């Protein structure tokens, strides 16, 4: 798509530096920068993240929210110019994500066929040692490696890769382009790589942010029944190797779990959470959007984590705080309540 054509989808877009004929391949973010893609920058945090991770000058374009761009000093603007493939502004970055993601999503899937089994089309590659049950759908360009077992009713959409020795139990759905590592076990009725819950409100309508980031599941991960792992918006949701996820868990888009993470039943992670290696979440614990959890953290059941947690901390309650502090507060409330009870 030509840079100038983006104006057809968001009329507020104005090109500051760059030619309308520049080719734009897609949308990305600072986690996975890609050549001739662009990133959205709404505030200083996003800008600093992009400047820190962008190692290839003139590779990615940037679209700023106008009011933030207007506040930037000339030194920062010059630094952006040195590294950006193009620079543009929009009135509202959130709305621009909804408006501009749709054409790139449609471009990405326009030639994809998930209605005819890839084995019939000759595009799916299934190792001869794999066990594929009756009633399994395997999409276009799927790759299934040695000793994989796929149970009845599983749907594997286009572009998926399933690593050696992995097993997928009945009625699970694996969305497009998900990468599953070696010796992974995914139990019944899971959904891996579905769209995240991303909308922006305008004129009485919730405008969808179109997701194309998919998900990566590391080696030796086990995922319990009825768990849902959303695909990333523009880069993948990641489940680190050796992680163990219980039944009925929700993991939102753009989350990144380290290695050996344990998440107990009915826990939920909102979008863009980062969870460090070997952290344990108790049952029904919840993490708010964009929160970073350190390594080897313990989160008590029913805790509500709304701010970052450092390495090795043990937290509980809502809002989650150091576990001893929370227990003292609970004991004090119980004591005061008992003392004030009318007999």
The position carrying tokens 């952006």 is 80
Give the C-alpha separation, 337 to 160, whole Å.
Answer: 56
Tokens coding 73? 């000093």
CB contact at 8 A, 190 and 228: yes
Residue 319 preceded by cis peptide, ω within 30: yes
Burial class, 190, CB count within 10 angstroms (exposed 0-12 / middle 13-18 / buried 19+) = buried
Distances (CA, A) of 292 to 31, 108, 254: 15, 31, 12
Per the DSSP assignment, residues forming a β-bridge with 215 are 237
Tokens read off for 38 = 């662009």
Angstrom distance (rounded) from CA 19 to CA 159? 33
Measure CA 316 to chain center: 25
Give the Cα separation of 212 and 141 in Å (integer).
17
* Helix spans in the chain (H): 44-53, 66-71, 74-83, 93-109, 118-121, 323-339
Q: Give catalytic status of residue 253 as yes or no.
A: yes
Q: Which of 37, 151, 211, 253 is catalytic?
A: 253
Which residues carry out catalysis?
Answer: 253
């Amino acid at each position: 798509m030509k840079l100038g054509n983006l104006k057809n989808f968001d009329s507020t877009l104005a090109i500051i530096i760059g030619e309308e004929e520049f080719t734009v391949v897609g949308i990305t973010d600072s986690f996975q920068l890609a050549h001739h893609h662009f990133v959205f920058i709404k505030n200083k945090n996003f800008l600093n993240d992009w400047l820190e991770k962008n190692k290839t000058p003139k590779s990615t374009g940037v679209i700023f929210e106008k009011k933030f761009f207007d506040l930037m000093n000339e030194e920062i603007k010059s630094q952006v110019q040195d590294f950006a493939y193009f620079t543009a502004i929009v009135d509202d970055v959130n709305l621009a994500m909804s408006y501009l993601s749709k054409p790139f999503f449609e471009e990405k899937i326009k030639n994809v066929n998930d209605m005819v089994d890839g084995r019939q089309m000759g595009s799916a590659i299934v190792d001869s040692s794999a066990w594929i049950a009756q009633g399994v759908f395997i999409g276009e360009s799927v790759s299934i490696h040695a000793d994989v077992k796929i149970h009845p009713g599983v749907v594997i959409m286009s572009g998926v890769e399933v690593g050696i020795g992995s097993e997928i139990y009945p009625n699970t759905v694996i969305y497009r382009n998900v990468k599953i590592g070696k010796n992974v076990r995914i139990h019944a009725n899971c959904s891996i790589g579905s769209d995240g819950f991303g909308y922006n409100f305008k004129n009485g309508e919730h405008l969808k942010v179109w997701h194309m980031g998919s998900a990566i599941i590391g080696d030796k991960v086990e995922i319990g029944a009825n768990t849902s792992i959303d695909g990333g918006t523009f880069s993948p949701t990641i489940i680190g190797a050796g992680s163990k996820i219980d039944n009925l868990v929700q993991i939102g888009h753009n989350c990144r779990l380290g290695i050996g993470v344990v998440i107990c039943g009915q826990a939920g992670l909102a979008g863009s959470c980062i969870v460090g290696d070997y952290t344990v979440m108790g049952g029904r614990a919840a993490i708010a959007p964009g929160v970073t959890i350190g390594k080897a953290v313990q989160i008590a059941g029913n805790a509500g984590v709304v701010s970052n947690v450092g390495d090795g901390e043990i937290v509980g309650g809502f809002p989650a705080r150091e576990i001893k502090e929370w227990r003292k507060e609970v004991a004090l409330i119980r004591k005061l309540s008992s003392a004030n009870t009318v007999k």
